[in-house]
Every structure is written in structure tokens, then in C-alpha cells.
Copies of this chain bind each other. A is one copy, B any other.
Amino acid sequence: MVKRTSFEGDSCPVARALEAIGDWWSLLIIREALSGQRRFGEFQSKLGMAKNILSARLRALVDHGILATAPASDGSAYQEYVLTPKGRGAFPILVALRQWSEEFDDRPEEIATILVDRAKGRPVKKLELHAEDGRRLSSAETTLKPRLARRRRSV
């Protein structure tokens, strides 16, 4: 098979996440959903993507338990796509991507929005990784440990 390689059986959690949301559009759809969009047409017009691709992506996200379909809240007969807890759990991934752009983008002046604390209107803090005891950890201060049975497959 000359298929696009699947990471489904991979034991690395990063690869497993990418299997679900590692394509070009899924994270943007989740981003829109987190900011309140629910309808097919809303996603399509906000993202400007082809309808067949959107259709396929929405179906895949529903299959992965990231979105769920629900009857429209406005009483019409159409349906809506709403985030599940798993979908809302992707929020830190989006924040990490956003902050990475803010810090390293070559043309940061082209970035149009800032993520702020809704209550105070002030920018949020950077995501930081901490140890159990609260020490701030850089990537060099972490390492990977096999979980149970030793199966080898890197990071």
C-alpha cells in the first residue's frame, strides 16, 4: 500500500495525537469550535475551505470523539457540531501553537489577535512545564521513561 502512513498503532502519544488532529484543517476547526462556531456553514465561511473537505473532516472528528452532532439550538431542523470534553481538552495544544508563533514568528506584526484573560482583559501567561514539586522544567530537564512493559519506540 502506498497509503499515507498511519500512526494509529504507534505507541508514541505524540504520534497518536497527530493521527487524530495532525492534518491541515482539524486544529483550525477545533479552534473555531472553541470560539463558538457550531454550524457547517459557519466553519465553511470562517475557514474558507472546500465543502467536501470540511465534510470529511467533521465526520472524522466526530468519529474520533472530538466533536458530536446535536440538534440545532435555534430550533431549526439542521444539526450542529459541538465539542466534546476531548475536543475542549485540545485547548492547550492551540495555546501552545499560538504562543510559539507569538514568540518566534518572523513577522509577528501580522498576528492580529491576543489571547487574554476574559475577566481582566490582560494577556495570559506563557504555558510552562512544571515538575511535581513545582520546579519549572525545560525540555533538557525531562526524559522519557517506559510506562510498563518495555516496548521500544522513541519519544
Contacts and interface: CB of A to CB of B under 8 A. Distances in A.
What is the total number of copies of this protein in its complex? Answer: 2
Interface of A: 4-5, 9, 11-18, 22-24, 27-28, 31-32, 34-35, 46, 48-49, 65, 85-86, 88-106, 110-125, 127-133, 135, 137-147, 151-155
A44 to B, nearest CB: 13
Nearest to A4: B24
A116 B143 contact: yes
Contacts of A114: 144-147
A119 B147 contact: no
Contact of A28 (B15, B91, B121, B135): B15
Contacts of A155: 31-32, 34-35, 113
